[in-house]
Structure 1
């Protein structure tokens, strides 16, 4: 059979005039109805919404835990294979002579800030501390909770959730979008990444469904991140003296949630209106500088040797145990207090939750990575998007989280850090370290963390708004109508506020796990489409056929 030229045209109908000019009405209106319906439902019928979401969550964890575990393992394997496959690794995401638009520093800054910054600022301290107290080895009686023999296990599991698996999800989505948009000149939207499998049929209803699924997953995935960020932001405001925003338990009050959402989404909407090259780029550079400054504090004044040892040993343990951790699925035996049930519950609450979170985040981060990675090779993209951010996360977890563990073990913290709410742990730790020296220093550090958190939250939110509008606009990267940017800024803030007010972070987590499921199937199809396209391109090159489409001239 003769090899056909690659598909380089995927028409997507957009409105020619009116409020939705330049947007796909099918995708945009359907997405707005689904997200708006979720907000109204959660606010109008909170008890019913909470009960139904919990039933869905229980069903998914019981029936799709294996799917989530194995599908992320597949993404890691595909990324590694594409990086080392000669026919794939050398291909450029763009024209043959195209150069990257952003410097390496700005590229890493935007990638890290939009991809994982907010969650990492919460969990770099909270997660190692949690796994130090409980993990599968503790459940099985192999190590002891909150003791020295459990430190390595704490980092092995923390690295699993924030390492190659997380960034492989982003890399697959980003690579698929960049490949078909910048090599094929197809629209920069999710459906384009499946053209080798379904061809021009994606111009119609099935393509609309794929893009709608991506928009909903994006909103719910970013809502999860912002939910964690809101809790931590309110804790930080309380630490610097802005009272009345927290409950007696230290969590955000209703007033605190509303204030935080108004501040964050107001700033992010303004930034989104300025575009990627201005507001988002500068915010990303600022939060990278502040991140380095905060990390430098932990390196100089934290448990430096403890952190270095945890990094080296933890990385070794992670790489050795990764095949088993990536593929092992624990099944409950039905007994509430059995080891098997406890292991299954732990995996559902941690690994399955994280894999769903990263999958839900993938259309947003993936499209954003594609947007900022034009001109880079596949090998450069995969290694840059997987390895560098993973190492950054590992460094944060070992020096920030390691300092917390060391202070609890030998530094006399006495439960001050472990007893604090997750979002407040980093503030509790820095206050314990600095308050005896100077209350002013402690306040200044808390203020810096609040500013850093704010930049991360705004970067994630405004990037998400621009990405959602790009999908709705059939992949158009150009300026978007201001009302649509404002709508999605308000919608994203409303989802976070509504779900936090009616059910807390658990409600957001449940909605996100549900929303991620259909998109995980789309991502598996992306893997198949990428491999098929690259293989066929190598055959086309052998036959002297062109594999890169010339972009259409700007009007």
Structure 2
């Protein structure tokens, strides 16, 4: 049945993964529209249990993941290249850096640049337990320490750990771009079976929820800016228009692909964000902001060892649940998508370059970004007329950025630029997400019909629009709680990632030279393998269904592995001599395989 529907719509994907994922998402949307309060209550109970019982698990786990990445990145395995041993990076450093933010936390930086320092300044996270008085200089220092903790090394660890694993298994072992591929050392060719498909379906659904929450929150911020500039009302159709515009542009970008769409938008946005940052620095208290940025970097580094294990045990204020644990659980929910996307743009880099780049560069930019904006907030409160923090607390965090820009010259222009930045950051999040979701369903990169690729951006936009307008805060709250609950299994996945990645590197790497590794043949899902066989695709000369490596690529001193026994589909549709395919790339039509039927 699913195959017939699949062929009717001219798709090229895994029918089970695609339709089951879409069906589960549709069921959630329908139930939320029918009973938003009930859904919010149900999922809220689950997220509440996580808050009350597993906060320590998130805090300690992320620190363990960070330590693991540093050890792997700067140990002997750091020299392994994510791709062929002589492969070069596909994208320039600047384009790579821009796309990291496009899929990562570019949207979050815009949303919280002013709001988080202002909130922690007015309500110090550890105020009563440490004697820090609200709105004092000590409160300002602690506010910046917590803000940078939330958006620095630990947040990027959430993306870097799965990203490194995906890059290794996809480009070193040539496995499908799916979450199930991470389990290949344990599951073998069962990554194509029910267990593997269940993992991928769960990952797709959880990613959709996490990104849809971000789109919903971003829509609120864009609307707040438009309301300030043009007096746009709170009517539902205004929210629908905002989401529709973002979705249309994201769909076009996704159809164009990484190089023509996402890369160009990402480069444009990162340069525009830097220009806005320079404008704020130049027209504001420049020296004050520069001094503050350096000081906040020191505050962050000094507080980091304590915060990395701080669980609010003694005071037990509950503050950590609403901020730190919420951030970690929500961000983890869309870590599979960001991880695969970062892997996709990082091919050809060494593990050391990957770890240093994904952890170091964004964290450095985050320190500069929040250092300048946060110092500007404190300057207004301590040396100016004040009132900005009160405005943020009264009007909501979505208005914070625009209230801040109102204190600077050319406020209408900079606010318009900020609205555009928020919009484009959400566009690049949606289009990169759609590409990754499509690859996860297909089990390979490329060759997907354009309407199939566009489906995911439309789905994300539709979910955000329906839940934001038809159910109001109830639907968005329910979706947020779902994302938090789905984030827990993904967080547990981190421990499997560490084990499987370590095991794979030990299996593949030798001890001499530049760590020559086995060259793994490309692994395709069975249904895609059959399609390419019928098309006489020459790429099958280097493809298998059961994960396997090429003959003659066994490095010295590496443990022996047996070649995988290929499933029946290979015996039926592929002509092989021993372990070497006889499909001639120069004459791929001559396969000797009779047509079906």
Matched, 1:359 2:332: yes
CA contact (8 A) 1:213 1:518 kept: no
Aligned runs of 1:164-203 on 2, under 5 Å? 164-203=153-192
Aligned residues of 1:133 and 1:146 also touching (Cα < 8 A):
yes
Q: Does the CA contact (< 8 Å) of 1:239 and 1:443 recur in 2?
A: no
Say if 1:523 and 1:151 are closer, same or farther in 2 by CA, change over 3 A.
Answer: same
User: Partners of 1:74 and 1:358 in 2: how far apart?
Assistant: 17
Residue 551 of structure 2 corresponds to which residue in structure 1?
Answer: none
TM-score (norm 2): 0.82
Instruction: Answer whether contact 1:496 1:508 (CA < 8 A) is retained.
Output: no
1:457 corresponds in structure 2 to 426
Q: What residue is the counterpart of 1:250 in the other structure? A: none
Deviation, structure 1 residue 195: 1.2
Q: Following TM superposition, where does structure 1 have runs of at least 4 consecutive aligned residues deviating by more than 4 angstroms?
A: 13-18, 539-542, 550-553
1:91-130 → structure 2 map (5 Å cutoff):
91-130=80-119
Q: How does 1:21-60 map to 2 (within 5 A)?
A: 21-60=11-50
Q: In the alignment, what sits opposite 1:421?
A: 396
Kindly indicate whether residue 515 of structure 2 is the aligned counterpart of residue 525 of structure 1.
no
Structure 1 CA distance, aligned partners of 2:137 and 2:516? 61
State the partner residue of 1:3: none
Q: Distance in 2 between matches of 1:179 and 1:220?
A: 26
Alignment partners' CA distance in 2, 1:346 and 1:375: 42
Structure 2 match to 1:78: 68
* Contact 1:39/1:494 (8 A) holds in 2: no
Rounded Cα–Cα distance in structure 1 between residues aligned with 2:356 and 2:380: 35
The alpha carbon displacement at 1:315 in A equals: 2.0
**Equivalent residue number for residue 284 of structure 1:** 266
Aligned-pair CA distance for 1:348: 0.7
Q: Deviations over 1:376-399 (max 9, x none)?
A: 000000110011001111111111
| C-alpha contact (below 8 Å) 1:271/1:462 kept by paired residues | yes
Contact 1:93 1:179 in 2 (8 A): yes
Instruction: Pick the aligned partner of 1:554 from 528, 536, 539.
Output: 539
**Deviations along 1:462-498, whole A, 9 cap, x unmatched?**
1111111110111x11042233333322221233233
Structure 1 unaligned segments of length 5 or more: list them: 1-12, 247-252, 332-338, 435-440
Report the Cα offset of residue 453 of structure 1: 1.4
Q: What is the match of residue 260 of structure 1?
A: 242
Instruction: Determine which of 292, 307, 327 is the counterpart of 1:325.
Output: 307
Q: In the alignment, which residue of structure 1 is the partner of 2:52? A: 62
TM-score (structure 1 length as normaliser): 0.88
Distance 1:14 1:190 in 2: 26
Residue-pair matches, total: 518
Match of 1:294 among 276, 280, 283: 276
Q: Distance in 1 between matches of 2:194 and 2:65?
A: 27
Q: Do the aligned residues in 2 keep the contact of 1:541 with 1:547 (CA within 8 Å)?
A: no
Q: Which residue of 2 aligns with 1:497?
A: 465
Residue number in structure 2 paired with 1:446: 415
CA separation in 1, counterparts of 2:221 and 2:6?
44
Report the secondary structure of 1:240's partner residue.
Answer: helix
Following superposition of structure 1 onto structure 2, how do residues 125-164 of structure 1 map, counting pairs within 5 Å? 125-164=114-153
Larger displacement relative to structure 2 (117-126 or 508-517):
508-517
8 A contact 1:540–1:546 mirrored in 2? no
RMSD across aligned positions (CA): 2.3
Provide the C-alpha distance between the structure 1 equivalents of 2:488 and 2:408, rounded to a whole number of angstroms. Answer: 42
